[in-house]
Amino acid sequence: MPFKAQKFEFVEIPVTGVATTGQTGTIWSFPDLPKLRYTSLLAMSVYSPNNITVTPSGNTPVTLAILQKSFLVLYANDRQDLYRIPLTDLNRTQAASDPFVRQLFEFNGQKVTWDKSFVQIGSAPGNTTNLSFCFGIHYI
């Protein structure tokens, strides 16, 4: 049976650029997401600059190179059971050079504690301008 969306929220995690040295951080937490508190996670997707060119906050989505070395850690049901999911596993839009999957990355209705969840990157991105990790979250 095909996936049918219940509710959807676009979420971005800002990665502030550092003008002189480039960003050296490797972990970015989700912001406070009041609309998603006490909800059940159904599916997630990620967006690259090939999907969208600017976010609602005015940032550019992180590059494909950054996505390819980034992992999602979700704190759900009081544990880190959803640990280091490669972000490329959540990219559904086929573009010339982007790795992608055809199906939404589906979950089992886990209750995610978003402020304890984060994106981890294998090595610092070195960005000098503001970027954002961009997610589409399907929930009930």
Is the pTM higher than 0.75? The answer reads: yes
Tell me which amino acid residue 64 is.
Answer: L
pLDDT tens figures, 31-81:
999 999 999 999 999 998 888 999 999 999 999 899 999 999 999 988 898
20-52 exposure pattern, b = at least 16 Cβ within 10 A, e = fewer: eeebeeeebebeeeeebeebbbbbbbbbbbbbe
pLDDT tens figures, 89-137:
998 876 666 666 668 889 999 999 999 999 999 999 998 899 999 999 9
